[in-house]
Structure 1
Amino acid sequence: MFKKLFGIKEKQTEDTLVAPLTGKVVALEDVPDPTFAQKMMGDGIAIEPIEGVVVSPVNGEIVQFFHTKHAIGIKSEAGTEILIHVGLETVGMKGEGFEGHVEVGDKVSAGDKLLSFDLDLIKEKAASTITPIIITNSDKIETLNKRAATEAIKGETALLSLSLKTT
């Protein structure tokens, strides 16, 4: 109301996320975990990886890196907050099979290597290798366009494009 009353318009900031992994693109609604499928953490997309390397989907900063190395948070230069959660129920692996290549506070460019993981070990010890890529500040999204289900190449394939609301 205040913004309308005083003629303050929200401006939009554009952002594009490239695939952080190589593999098959999966709709978030098809992820076999209700936390992700029901978008409780935010909207996004997922990838069924065919190799164990995660790269940055954007230019930005590492804002969170779980001690178990199964999940990493990035804030893009445009302000998009992204969570990459490698596999489902991988927290129970307690870091086994994961190797980090960045730390909180590091500046990264799209395509920079963030972490690597043992794909076969995840297949053996976790519920799934499907990796959700979540926009955790989805409440700030004005528009979100997702790539149709297909194959993705890490650091190359544009997965999501969005506009963020900012004042």
Structure 2
Amino acid sequence: MIKSFFNKKKKVTEESITAPLTGRLLNLEEVPDPVFSQKLMGEGMAIEPTEGTIVAPIDGQVIQIFHTKHAIGLRSAATGIELLIHIGLETVNMKGEGFEVHVNEGQKVQVGDKLITANLSLIKEKAASTITPIIITNSDIVDKIDKATTTDDVLKGSSQIFGVQIK
């Protein structure tokens, strides 16, 4: 019993979220869709991508893949934070066209693992925008969010876009 007391893992309360896409980092308020810009789905950041490969921004598990392939939900292994990566705006209307999913629901992923490939040219042609919001969907467990102060270009799998502290 004493051994198990001393071997308890310390709860992780902070986590860094990396960019799931390469492109220009934006504040949510800049997203031309009120659902995201007014933070109705939650807090986060957005990226205007320059390439169509979406990678895992955290170590964790795939908890949802939308049947239209335009969005994916992840849960962090470290803190339990849940992220929604919504590829483009009004891309649900594309009904999966132009999206290739590389993972399955329930699959464990690490930062940088390829999740989805999106055809940005097709999205530009058939949807409102390629801007991709990255949203914290369970913000009730978040105590503090530290957003990147820059709106410069970010690199998928390596640039930090925000950090979170859990309650």
Q: CA deviation at 1:73?
A: 0.1
Alignment size in residue pairs: 155
Structure 2: segments with no counterpart, 5+ residues: 1-10
User: Aligned pair 1:31/2:27, yes or no?
Assistant: no
- What displacement does 1:140 show? 1.5
Q: Secondary structure at the match of 1:110?
A: coil
CA distance in 2 between counterparts of 1:83 and 1:15 reads 16
After superposition, residues 9-48 of structure 1 pair within 5 angstroms as 13-48=13-48
Displacement over 4 Å in runs of 4+: none
* 1:12 CA drift (Å): 6.7
2:26 aligned counterpart, secondary structure? strand
Match of 1:51, SS? coil
Normalising by structure 2, we get a TM-score of: 0.91
Tell me the distance in 2 between the aligned counterparts of 1:75 and 1:86. Answer: 17
Match of 1:164 in 2: 166
Q: Distance in 1 between matches of 2:45 and 2:81?
A: 14
Q: Give me the identity figure in percent.
A: 57
Q: Which amino acid aligns with 1:64?
A: Q
Q: Aligned equivalents of 1:12 and 1:66: distance in 2?
A: 29
Aligned equivalents of 1:44 and 1:139: distance in 2?
13
Query: What SS does the aligned partner of 1:115 have?
Result: strand
Name the SS for the 1:57 alignment partner.
coil
Please give the residue correspondences for 1:106-145 in structure 2 after superposition, counting only pairs within 5 Å: 106-145=107-146
1:40-77 residue CA offsets vs partner (Å, 9 max, x unmatched): 00000000000000000000000000011100000001
One-letter amino acid matched to 1:35: V
Rounded Cα–Cα distance in structure 2 between residues aligned with 1:93 and 1:12: 39
Counterpart residue identity of residue 55, structure 1: V
